[in-house]
Every structure is written in C-alpha cells, then in structure tokens.
C-alpha cells in the first residue's frame, strides 16, 4: 500500500466520525494553546527585561563606585560576597586611568551625580543632575525624541537632556503644589524655552527660609550658603537650554525618566566657578576643611569589549579597592530564575496536552473496535502489518497536526489580546514591550510536539490493530 493510499484512508476514517474527531482535536487545541501562551508569558518578561537592560546602558557596562560615593550599596549578583562591601578609594582622574588600563576595558569615563534645581516662571523643582562625557552618554542608549542631540562640550553654557518625567516634579513656588495635586503640568516647551539652573540648591532653600520670596530678590544679597558652610552671596542661577529630551509621556517610564544629563567638564567648570576656593558639597575635604587636592567623581562608567569578560573585569576592579556592579551579573542571576518560571508555566500547559493525549488514545482504541472487520479484510487482501500500523499512526498524527495548527492560531490571538489589554497597564508600571512573546521557534516546537504526542498516543492502539487475527476480525460483528 502506497503512502498516498494510507493518507487517503486515514483522512477518510477521520471524516466519517466528524464529532469524535472534532472533540479529540479540541483537546489538542487547548493543550497546545496552553503551552504556547504559558511559555510566551515567560519569554515576554525575559525579553522586556533584556530591553530595559539595553536601554539602561547595555550588558557590557560596569558601574564603579568609590569611597564615600555609594560604596556601601548592595551589589545585585549571584555572588553575594560583595554585599555591603565598602570601597577603599575615591574615583579620581587617576582612578579612571587605572581602570582604562585593565585588559578588555574598552572605555572608562567618570560620572558626577548631584542634586540641583530648575526654575521657570512660577515653577521650580529638584532634579538629579548627572554629568557625563559624550562617549559615556552614547553608551547609555538613552531614547530621545526627534530633534534631540547630545550636550555641547568645551562651552561655558550648560545644555541638558531632560527626562520625560521631570515635568511632573515641578511645583508652584507659592503654593508648593505640583502635578499630583493640581493635575496640571507647567506650560513649558523644554526644547525651546530657556530654564534657570541652580547648582547650590541648599543655599537657594536657605534664602527662601530667610523670607526671600523669589530668586530675583535674593540676588545680590548675602544669604546662607548651601553645604555645611555659610556663603557670602546668594546662589547663582544659570540660563540653560535643553539639547534633548527622553522619549515618552507621563505614562512611560524607563531608567532615564527621572534624570537630567549634562556634559561633565562643563558642569565641573560651573561648580568651580560657583564655589571658588570653598569646598564643593559632596566633595571630600582635608582635616583642616580644605577641598581635596583632586576632584572626586560619584562613579565611573566602564565598558567591556565583550560580555564574556564582564565578570572577570568586575573582579579585577574589586581587587583594586572599588565597588563594581554590572547588568551582566544581574542578568546571569535572573536567567536561571526565568528558566524555572518557563519550566513551571510550560508544565502547567503540558497537563492539558497530556489530557488531550489520553483523548487521542481513547479515540483510536474506539476506532479499532468499530473497524475490526475492516482491519481483517485488508489483512486478508494482503496489506502488511506495517501498513496497518502506519495507517493508525497517521490518523493520530493528523489529529495532533490539526490540533497543533489551530492551537497555535488560537495562542497568537490570545497573545495579541493579552498584549493589547496589558499594554497601558504595563507602561504605567514601567513594564515596556509585549507581556506575551511568541517566537517562530516556539510555534514550530509546539506544532512538532503536538504531532509527536498524537502519534505517541496512537502507538499502542496501532499495535493492537496490527496484532488482530484476520479470521477472528472477519467473523467479528
């Protein structure tokens, strides 16, 4: 018997019992869709996490902190020996040179983080200002709106890249009410309007506490200075413009949403001009209270040339007396957790497919009982035992194939519905991308698995059909 004959007989037998075939296929559809959707949820979370890591600087970047600049933090990695490990050295220009000489380090650049204030009209607000050099800013992979560019270097004017959620942090000077109280945002075009930047925010706050109603009134008067010392003059306000803005609205969150970036060298020049010979807040001082001889940065951004060397470079940095934290270490610890999550979700879906396999076996056994005489006739006519076995395996495979195809179509529809419904909720919670992700390999794997389950379920019924006695089968009524 040829393969075409086997296919024709198998499909014909399934068509004759449409309701039974439909119910059996339905079980495979539910099982396949369950597996695909469950696994797709785990893949969606994993893909979203990878995307957020890439947007926050990639998986080959290492954040290096030094003494008194965040060295007491917790390093999120599989090796928790580094938890609460305090750094021994400051991050200075000399330290940057040392980090640059480590093997496999592609780039090492300093970062200065500080609190500042921006003002516009009747609004003001505190910001987290980060000074970085152009090469480090580029490696941050900051998503910017159209028309944005990196801040200019070698200039006396600070240019800012403003996070998309900074507008909600501004509040009215007189009432202290902001977006969350009034529901209204300041009417500011951040890409066109000029802003006022105050680097000495403590002095500005002190001037308000001393009864000064506005910054303009405080200029030229001798008020308290920020930091830990008194100042002979009010804080200076810098006229600044935005060179770019982080992409997204108030419902969109990413790792750059609440930060304001600027050029590091321009920021340092402005700070030195602002404070002169006095200590800059956040900078270490000698025992006599004088500024430290070298400028100390908050951290350093180190880029490794290959992800395979990230842990090795991190270990060397820690041996040098600094604290190192990388996304690669975080990903490594999370990958095993995602593997467990996907296995659990896939196992839950596999239960449905196991039930479907039992249904296929039951259908094939019933088919054998109903076609006992037919089996005896084709045996007498010379059909080989192998052909009979193949015929029943093909029928079971057909059920698995049909259920797998429909199940995958159903799973894609369910995935689309899940992503549509959860889209707005995910953005509000900082979850970007699709919560359900179905790659091509998952579709092909689930389809093959459905066919395999169908044929496995039909194997023993096929053996039973093959072993039937021809004479007993013909006499059977």
96 has a pLDDT exceeding 80: yes
SS3 98: helix
Higher pLDDT, 299 or 253: 299
Distance CA 76, CA 250 (A): 28
- 32 Cα distance to chain centroid: 27
Distance CA 274, CA 202 (A): 13
Residue 197 DSSP code: E
How much is the pTM? 0.63
Distance CA 308, CA 356 (A): 44
Answer positive or negative: Cα dihedral of 322, 325, 329, 334: positive
pLDDT for res 476: 56
Q: How confident is the model at residue 350 (pLDDT cuts 50, 70, 90)?
A: confident
Q: Hey, what are 108's tokens? A: 């090492």
209-233 CB burial, b ≥16 within 10 A, e <16: eeebeebeebeeeebbbbbeeebee
SS3 48: helix
Rounded to an integer, the average pLDDT of 349-361 is 81
Rounded to an integer, the average pLDDT of 450-476 is 73
SS3 136: helix
Q: How confident is the model at residue 207 (pLDDT cuts 50, 70, 90)?
A: confident
263 has a pLDDT exceeding 90: yes
- 49 Cα distance to chain centroid: 2
Answer positive or negative: Cα dihedral of 278, 281, 286, 292: negative
pLDDT for res 71: 36
16 has a pLDDT exceeding 80: no
Tokens 């919670």 locate to 429
Using alpha carbons only, give the angle 318, 323, 328 rounded to the nearest 5 degrees: 85
**Averaged confidence pLDDT in the chain:** 79
Q: Hey, what are 124's tokens? A: 């003001």
Least confident stretch, 291-295, 316-320, 404-408: 291-295
According to DSSP, the residues that pair with 324 across neighbouring strands are 64
56 has a pLDDT exceeding 70: no
Provide the terminal-to-terminal Cα distance of the chain, rounded to the nearest Å. 26
* Residues 176, 169 contacting (CB under 8 angstroms): no
* Residues 203, 223 contacting (CB under 8 angstroms): yes
SS3 175: coil
pLDDT tens digit string along 183-200? Answer: 888 889 999 999 999 988
Distance CA 339, CA 332 (A): 11
In 3D space, the residue among 271, 83, 55, 28 whose CA is nearest the CA of residue 164 turns out to be 55
Burial of 62 (0-12, 13-18, 19+ CB in 10 A): buried
Residue 82 DSSP code: G
Distance CA 379, CA 315 (A): 73
Distance CA 240, CA 235 (A): 15
Q: How confident is the model at residue 437 (pLDDT cuts 50, 70, 90)?
A: confident
pLDDT for res 6: 67
Distance CA 219, CA 63 (A): 39
Least confident stretch, 46-55, 185-194, 215-224, 307-316: 215-224
Rounded to an integer, the average pLDDT of 331-359 is 78
Distance CA 144, CA 187 (A): 20
Q: CA dihedral defined by 232, 235, 239, 245, rounded to 10 degrees?
A: 150
Tokens 């990639």 locate to 58
- 346 Cα distance to chain centroid: 21
Count other C-beta atoms under 10 Å from residue 421's C-beta: 11
pLDDT for res 224: 39
Rounded to an integer, the average pLDDT of 328-348 is 76
pLDDT for res 225: 40
Q: What are phi and psi of 450, to 5 degrees?
A: -65, -40
Pairing of strands 171-172, 105-120: unpaired
Pairing of strands 195-198, 171-172: unpaired
Q: Where are the extended beta strands (E) located within 248-338?
A: 259-263, 299-304, 323-326
């Amino acid at each position: 018997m040829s393969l075409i004959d086997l296919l024709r007989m198998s499909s014909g037998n399934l068509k004759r019992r449409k309701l039974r075939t439909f119910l059996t296929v339905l079980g495979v559809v539910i099982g396949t869709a369950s597996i695909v959707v469950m696994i797709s949820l785990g893949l969606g979370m994993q893909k979203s996490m990878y995307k957020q890591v890439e947007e926050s600087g990639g998986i080959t970047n290492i954040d290096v902190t030094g003494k008194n600049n965040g060295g007491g933090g917790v390093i999120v990695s599989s090796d928790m020996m580094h938890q609460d490990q305090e750094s021994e050295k400051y991050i200075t220009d000399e330290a940057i040179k040392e980090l640059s000489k480590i093997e496999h380090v592609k780039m090492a650049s300093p970062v200065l983080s500080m609190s500042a204030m921006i003002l516009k009209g009747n609004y003001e607000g505190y910001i987290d200002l980060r000074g970085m050099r152009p090469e480090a800013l580029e490696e941050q992979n900051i998503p910017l709106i159209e028309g944005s560019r990196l801040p200019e270097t070698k200039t006396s004017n600070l240019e800012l890249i403003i996070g998309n959620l900074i507008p909600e942090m501004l509040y009215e000077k007189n009432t202290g009410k902001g977006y969350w109280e009034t529901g209204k945002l300041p009417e500011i075009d951040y890409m066109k309007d000029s802003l006022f930047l105050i680097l000495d925010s403590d002095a500005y706050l002190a001037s308000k506490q001393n009864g000064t109603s506005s910054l303009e009134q405080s200029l030229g008067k001798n008020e308290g200075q920020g930091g830990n010392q008194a100042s002979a003059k009010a804080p200076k306000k810098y006229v600044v413009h935005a060179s770019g803005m982080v992409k997204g609205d108030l419902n969109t969150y990413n790792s750059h949403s609440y930060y304001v970036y600027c050029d590091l060298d321009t920021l340092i020049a402005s700070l030195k001009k602002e404070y002169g010979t006095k200590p800059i807040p956040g900078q270490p001082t000698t025992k006599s209270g004088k500024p430290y001889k070298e400028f100390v940065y908050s951290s350093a951004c180190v880029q490794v040339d290959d992800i395979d060397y990230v842990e090795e470079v991190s270990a060397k940095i820690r041996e040098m007396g600094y604290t190192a934290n990388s996304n690669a270490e975080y990903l490594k610890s999370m990958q095993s957790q995602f593997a467990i999550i996907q296995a659990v979700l896939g196992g839950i879906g596999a239960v449905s497919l196991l039930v479907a396999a039992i249904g296929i076996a039951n259908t094939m056994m019933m088919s054998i009982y109903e076609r006992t005489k037919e089996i005896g006739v084709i045996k007498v006519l010379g059909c080989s035992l192998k052909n009979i076995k193949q015929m029943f395996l093909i029928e079971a495979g057909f059920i698995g194939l049909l259920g797998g195809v429909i199940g995958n179509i159903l799973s894609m529809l369910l995935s689309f519905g899940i992503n549509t419904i959860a889209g707005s909720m995910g953005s509000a919670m900082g979850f970007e991308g699709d919560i359900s992700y179905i790659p091509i390999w998952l579709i092909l794997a689930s389809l093959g698995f459905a066919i395999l389950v169908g044929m496995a379920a039909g194997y023993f019924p096929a053996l039973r059909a093959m072993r039937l006695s021809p004479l007993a089968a013909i006499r059977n009524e």
